[in-house]
């Protein structure tokens, strides 16, 4: 799943930076599940787009994976300038409220 997500986003957005982090272990899912991911994407293609439009762009790219085992994405989408201004930092994910292990 991680490789599929990475490939779909890389092929479409040609990002300057991408991280796909499997956070499934933080949730109440079966052992070995690959269902919850944090994705950090830095791309010129986000220039002029609102946050909701950036997220829609990513969700549109990976929508077929939601039919499989993908359940949730935490998206952090930035332009190269925003990434530089944040010094490559992004928020940590909160603990799962649904019974994480």
pLDDT at 90: 75
CA distances from 1 to 8, 22, 65 (A): 11, 9, 8
Q: Is 31 left (phi over 0), alpha (psi -120 to 50) or beta?
A: beta
Domain 2-84 part of CATH 3.40.640.10: no
- Asked whether residue 17 carries a pLDDT value surpassing 60, the answer given is yes
Nearest-angstrom CA–CA distance, 43 and 68:
27
- Asked whether residue 93 carries a pLDDT value surpassing 70, the answer given is no
**CB environment 22-39: b (16+ within 10 A), e (fewer):** ebbeebebeeeebbbbbb
Domain ranges across the chain: 2-84
Coil, strand or helix: which one is 34? coil
pLDDT in tens, 20-72: 998 876 666 667 666 678 999 999 999 999 999 999 999 999 999 988 888 88
């Amino acid at each position: 799943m991680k490789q599929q997500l990475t490939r779909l986003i890389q092929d479409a957005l040609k990002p300057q930076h991408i991280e796909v982090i499997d956070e499934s272990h933080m949730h109440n899912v079966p052992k070995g599940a690959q269902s919850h991911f944090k994705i950090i994407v830095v791309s010129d293609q986000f220039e002029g787009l609102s946050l909701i439009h950036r997220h829609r762009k990513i969700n549109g790219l990976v929508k077929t994976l939601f039919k499989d085992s993908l359940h949730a994405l935490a998206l952090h989408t930035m332009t190269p300038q925003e990434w530089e201004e944040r010094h490559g930092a992004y928020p940590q994910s909160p603990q799962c409220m649904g019974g994480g292990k």
